[in-house]
Amino acid sequence: MFSMEYFNYLLKSKKYLLIFIFLITLLNIFANRKVGDTLAVEGVLALILCYVLPVYFFYYVHDKKAVDSYYSIPVSRNAIVTTGIIFTIASIFLPLLLTFIIYAIKTPLYIVSTLYYCFMILVIVATLVIFNTTIYLIANNVFDGVVMIGAYTVLPLVIWIMTNYLMTTYVAGNSYYDLTFASYLSPVYLSVYSFVELFDKECMFGYLITLLIYLVVFTTLLLVGYKRRDVSRVNTPSSKFFAYPLVIYIYVFISMFTIATGNNFEYNGVFDFLKNNFILYVLLFVAFVAAHFVYKRKLYLSYKLPLFFIIAMVISLAFTSIFKINEGFGLSQNYKTGEFMRYNYNIWNQDDKEILDLINEHDDEHSYQYSIFIEAVNFDTNSRNKKIKSEYKKETIDYLESIRQEGISYFYHGPRESNSSLSVDTYDNKNYYSYYYSLESDISLETLIMLAQDENVSIVISPDNGFSYYLLPDGSLSINNYLTITY
């Protein structure tokens, strides 16, 4: 599995490059920084090298002449690839390690912490190098290899953006999805994320385990793929399923879903939608044909292209429509519940006479409009550690939940233009989740007083004269000139 002869050859033949990498990595050591600064410059350099070195060191697999030299030497294929990978990882990790140790001595760090950081850096570098090399070897030539690395690096982000767009458009309450979670789906983002948070986050166990899983999976894929690699196909179009075919079709599908998301068939009809998006579809089809040109290195015109395009179009439009009609397949009704919860209700520029009368009792200047801000919270927003054990009153919960249901209904059936909203924030000891609903409701003074009975609820009424009042449980107002709410 490892060839000392090949390692020595790499060491001898790449010595100037290695010296260069060491020097450029160590160059920053003279900057007056500490470990807490997260080795940012070295990290970026290492990240770049994780992309560049696999392409450079494994260049030979995409060169027909070089393949003859490398594959006929008395070293097994497994040994060539394993040695090449170890050499690549070492070329990036060792300069980084040396830099880190110098920082650690300067700081100084505990030996256990130092070992932990070193291990994490090694895992991160190894994951990135092995992932990039595996992807690079899917292709049959250097250009395609680089394209594949780029495509697979960006792909999880594109999928995340598309999913996010789809969910926020069709699932009531969803304002965003956490990128941290999404990063678990991509070895590249997880590696980068881990490196960025290495010195800030206390527990990286989840990251480490996931990275190790990726490491094992991609090492296996690399070894099997390299051994089975058909070298007679070097410098031919990269037609393996996981090369252009998958990449092109998945990107087209994602683009189709992005265009289809937001369709309003029930209001404007299919024809209007297609007319409005005609240019986008034409551009996408041109890009689709162009991608096939890059893939096959010749103009490829087949009935299969428009056929797939139309099928993808129909599927994307059908799915998004069904998704919308079914109110996000029930996803709107679910939300993450946590130990901590907060409801925020906002309504702007209201003119309910009963409430205006109440305001004007306390106000010399006559008010014509007011805004209401209701914060119902069962945790202290200013201190994450200070838990308030009390719970909402049942009436409060029932009422706020009924508003939420109204918001869901309004999301699917209303024009979505509103001057009131409800947001629900939860925290499950790890992550914050936020759900946002536009509303079309006006709260009566009676209901406001009912809500004010709950000690977890703050109701602030702000008339148009610049003052703010708390609504007290007895229905009176208490002036508040310095209202600040921190989140």
List interacting residues with another protein (CB under 8 A). 5-6, 8-9, 12-13, 60, 63, 65-69, 71-76, 79, 231-233
For another protein, give the closer residue by CB, 232 or 429.
232
Q: Which is nearer to another protein, 77 or 336 (CB)?
A: 77
User: Which residue, 63 or 375, is less far from another protein as judged by CB?
Assistant: 63
Q: Please identify, using beta-carbon distances, which residue of 65 and 201 lies nearer to another protein.
A: 65
Nearer to another protein, 8 or 444 (CB): 8
Identify which of residues 8 and 390 has a Cβ nearer to another protein in the complex.
8
Measured from the CB atom, is 76 or 349 closer to another protein?
76
Question: What is the nearest approach in angstroms of another protein to the Cβ of residue 151?
Answer: 24
Edge-to-edge strands, sheet with 173-174? 173-174, 432-439, 420-427, 340-350, 370-377, 457-463, 469-471, 477-479
Question: Least distance (Å) from another protein to the CB of residue 246?
Answer: 19
Least distance CB 130 / another protein (angstroms): 23
Question: Is-contact 195 123, C-beta < 8 A?
Answer: no
And the tokens for 225? Answer: 């793929």
HEC profile for the chain? Answer: CCCHHHHHHHHHHCHHHHHHHHHHHHHHHHCCCCHHHCCHHHHHHHHHHHHHHHHHHCHHHHCHHHHHHHHHCCCCHHHHHHHHHHHHHHHHHHHHHHHHHHHHHHCCCCHHHHHHHHHHHHHHHHHHHHHHHHHHCCCCCHHHHHHHHHHHHHHHHHHHHHHHHHHHHHCCEECCCCHHHHHCCCHHHHHHHHHHHCCCCCCCHHHHHHHHHHHHHHHHHHHHHHHHCCHHHCCCCCCCCCCHHHHHHHHHHHHHHHHHCCCCHHHHHHHHHHHHCHHHHHHHHHHHHHHHHHHHCCCCCCCHHHHHHHHHHHHHHHHHHHHHHCCHHHHHHCCCCCCEEEEEEEEEEECCHHHHHHHHHHCCCCCCCEEEEEEEECECCCCCCCECCCCCCHHHHHHHHHHHHHHHHHHHHCCCCCCEEEEEEEECCCCEEEEEEEECCCCCHHHHHHHHCCCCEEEEEEECCCCCEEECCCCCEEECCCCCCCC
Q: Minimum CB separation from another protein for residue 67, in Å?
A: 7
* Closest to another protein by CB, 63 or 352: 63
Min separation Cβ 1 and another protein, Å: 12
Least Å distance, CB 171 to another protein, is 46
**Which CB, 82 or 194, lies closer to another protein?**
82
Nearer to another protein, 73 or 115 (CB): 73
**Choice between 236 and 444, CB closer to another protein:** 236
Q: Please, what is the minimum distance in Å from the beta carbon of residue 65 to another protein?
A: 3
CA distance 193 to 162: 21
Closest approach of another protein to the CB of residue 9, in Å: 4
State the nearest-atom distance from the C-beta of 81 to another protein, in Å: 13
Smallest distance from the beta carbon of 20 to another protein, in angstroms? 14
57: part of which helix (H) or strand (E)? helix 40-57
